Amino acid sequence: MLINGVELVVNMFDADFSDKYEKAFLDMKQGEQDIPQDATLGDIIRQQCALAAKLFDDLFGAGTAKAIIRGKSDLREHLDAIELLLEEVSTQAQQANTRLSKYSPNRAARRKAK
């Protein structure tokens, strides 16, 4: 997949990548809970941007976030990048479901056969 001209390999069919994906999003969620409630709006945006950057670096290697976002603290750009990632993951999940459904027995047909 391509985000802001940077090619990223997303493979949710790969168990190791899927583990990294789940851990990266759990870490981001935990980090969001650690943002102080009394922080200024600018500080909240910077911390959220840092969490999003960490997510990309954890998934694709150090420096990935800097290449994608170009070092900006623009929350919209960070969220846009995450949305593109989530769209790719969703597409791959649909592909997996389509392929796996070919091998899943039809429960209605089994019940009818009994």
Residue range 53-59: mean pLDDT, rounded: 97
Domain of 30, in residue numbers: 14-113
In this predicted structure, the answer to whether residue 26 has a pLDDT above a threshold of 80 is yes
| pTM of full prediction above 0.75 | yes
3-state SS, residue 102:
coil
| Joined tokens for residue 99 | 């392929």
Flag whether 25 is in a domain: yes
Q: What is the pLDDT of residue 41?
A: 96
Flag whether 96 is in a domain: yes
Flag whether 51 is in a domain: yes
Q: What is the pLDDT of residue 113?
A: 58
Flag whether 5 is in a domain: no
Q: List 6's β-bridge partners, or say none.
A: 3
Query: What's the CA gap between 108 and 77, in Å, rounded?
Result: 47
Flag whether 7 is in a domain: no
Flag whether 54 is in a domain: yes
Flag whether 8 is in a domain: no
Domains in the chain: how many in total? 1
Q: What percent of the chain has pLDDT over 90?
A: 81
